[in-house]
Amino acid sequence: MLNPGHGWPFLLLLLLPPFESSLRCGGAGAEEATAHSHRVLLYPHSEKVSSIVSRKYRTGYHFQPPKNWINDPNGPMYYNGLYHLFYQYNPDSVIPGNKTWGHSVSADLINWLRLEPALDRTEPYDAKGCWSGSVTILADGRPAILYTGADGVKNQAQCIAFPSNNSDPFLREWTKPDSNPVIRPNGPGLNPSQFRDPTTGWTGPDGQWRIAVGAELDGYSAALLYKSEDFVHWTRVDHPLYSSNSSAMWECPDFFAALPGNSSGLDISSAVPNGAKHVLKVSLDSCDKYMIGVYDLERDRFVPDTVVDDRRLWPRIDYGNYYASKSFFDAKKGRRIIWGWANESDSSSDDVAKGWAGIQAIPRRIWLDSDGKQLLQWPVEEVESLRRNGISHKGIELKKGDLFEIKGTDTLQADVDIEFEPRTMDKADPFDPSWLLDTEKHCREADATAPGGLGPFGLVLMASDNLEEHTTVHFRVYKSQHKHMILMCSDLRRSSLRPGLYTPAYGGFFEFDLEKERRISLRTLIDRSVVESFGGGGRVCVMARVYPMALVKDSDARIYVFNNGTSTVMVPQLKAWSMRRAQMNVKKG
């Protein structure tokens, strides 16, 4: 139980006003590098060179520690009244390596306190790093971490850790028992250097624990299945939970159950109700892909509803800069929440200059569409607590070529929620399924300047006065055999004049019953170097990183709604808010 003696000072800390003033963001003045204890003025006399180290690129409400490298979210959980987020963290530097489990806690998923790393490289079996893993809450209520230890030659094995003191409300210290590593890469066909990222555990009809581990098996990718009575002694099941020869290795498998059309989450560690589907998410090719199917209890296997051999066609959790995601069941609100890592899109020397690299995407509620074919995601409602100064418009008409400026809200830290309603759908161009093989290519070719029958229409963000720099997030509607296919693009190719950035045009398609739904929604969270968008009620999500020069120089940007398609599009509703800074990883004293 959360000891009230500890709860109070903690709550007070969370209630303190955000440290907006101490960061001096948004103010005028020279850029500062605060990576070390002294302050350096960069380019104090130059107007032209806007520095990548500007604090203005640091996010205001997306999760990040004060400095250094982070990547995968690890073992998120809700425990005794607090959310815990662990994450791959190099305490020494902004370059990947020497991974520990960074640790932060929150009462609301938005404001975070930073604790000391929960796992450090202390043993021969994790000498090269405490890599990704999960937390499972055991039957007696104790949480257990399973993580991958990388030994001196980066061979991998799965290791366990328990809280050192269950009465500590923050679970600051974790103990690695002598039985570690608990799972070695033994058995035919396994590659010890491709064996990692254990999932959260679940129990089968025989009452035994099961977990999956990402691996290369006989040169193919597999989610290996392991069983245990006590969560400490594990045996490998003679077949994987699922495997595929369409790639060589899966990282960060995530396995969970969901009821179609029900946005409540299910706790995979408990019995799963009738009618539930199972989802297997895997990370490969720098993105997170998923399959929906059933968990065949008799054969102890995941069986996808459809097997798609070409992995380019697998649906994605996010079509942008998003990787190594990890979900958990939030017992507080009965929902499933997914976290994912977004890396920087600048160079590693930029990262060295900045002193920080990597953020986590906004935690998202995740559930299954009523047809059971598509995952939906939406920012957790708690993020709305940061909104202020809301503005709203109704009934905007966008003819071909129209550009409507959204004024009166902060343009660098904002939440924009908008709906588009085509006047007619007759002019939608025909859909070509070959576009699905390379949606980025299609977003480049059919970009915001290329008029179509229905679309492009959407948002222009982070725009400099003359639109020299801007990012677009837009839709294009196509007619397919049955329904409509909607393309959502997040085009970064003109997002910054700074050289050396990674600026693709991200894109994903979703099938949509436009005749019935009429409206296509777009929600975009703008957070300085982040443009994170949710299209069609969360059917396609795109996380993007941007570093406009204008943001540093002018400390301002513009937001517009536009339509470059032939058909007129209505905006029945547009709402936007400025977003406050969250309390982000203040160190617990």
Ligand X SMILES: *[C@@H]1O[C@H](CO)[C@@H](O)[C@H](O)[C@H]1NC(C)=O
C-alpha 302/C-alpha 296 separation (Å) is: 6
Nearest C-alpha neighbor of 14 from the set 76, 82, 68, 75: 82
C-alpha 316/C-alpha 374 separation (Å) is: 10
C-alpha 543/C-alpha 579 separation (Å) is: 18
Q: Can you give the binding site for ligand X, defined by CB under 6 A?
A: 90, 92-93, 95, 97-98, 165, 167-168, 245, 259, 262, 264, 273, 286, 307, 323, 343, 345, 448-449, 460, 472, 502, 562, 564
- Measured from the CB atom, the residue of 132 and 578 that comes closer to ligand X is 132
Active site includes 72? yes
Least CB distance to ligand X at residue 460 (A): 5
Least CB distance to ligand X at residue 292 (A): 17
Least CB distance to ligand X at residue 510 (A): 21
User: Are 334 and 265 contacting, i.e. CB atoms less than 8 angstroms apart?
Assistant: yes
Least CB distance to ligand X at residue 266 (A): 6
- Measured from the CB atom, the residue of 255 and 562 that comes closer to ligand X is 562
Q: Report strand pairing: 235-236 vs 220-228.
A: antiparallel
User: Are 326 and 252 contacting, i.e. CB atoms less than 8 angstroms apart?
Assistant: yes
Rounded to whole angstroms, what are the CA distances from 406 to 79, 248, 401, 410?
41, 47, 16, 10
Three-state SS for 428?
coil
- Measured from the CB atom, the residue of 97 and 390 that comes closer to ligand X is 97
- Measured from the CB atom, the residue of 449 and 466 that comes closer to ligand X is 449
Q: Which residue is nearest to ligand X (CB)?
A: 97
- Measured from the CB atom, the residue of 233 and 239 that comes closer to ligand X is 239
Least CB distance to ligand X at residue 405 (A): 12
- Measured from the CB atom, the residue of 30 and 307 that comes closer to ligand X is 307
- Measured from the CB atom, the residue of 162 and 483 that comes closer to ligand X is 162
Least CB distance to ligand X at residue 183 (A): 25
Spot the catalytic one: 72, 267, 288, 447. 72
**E-assigned strand segments in 138-270:** 143-150, 156-163, 174-175, 190-196, 202-203, 209-217, 220-228, 235-236, 242-244, 251-258
Least CB distance to ligand X at residue 55 (A): 21
C-alpha 496/C-alpha 503 separation (Å) is: 8
**E-assigned strand segments in 348-431:** 356-357, 359-360, 364-368, 375-379, 387-398, 403-405, 413-422, 429-430
User: Are 119 and 184 contacting, i.e. CB atoms less than 8 angstroms apart?
Assistant: no
Question: Which residue's structure tokens are 């530097």?
Answer: 93
Structural element, H or E, at residue 4: helix 4-15
Please identify every residue annotated as catalytic. Answer: 72
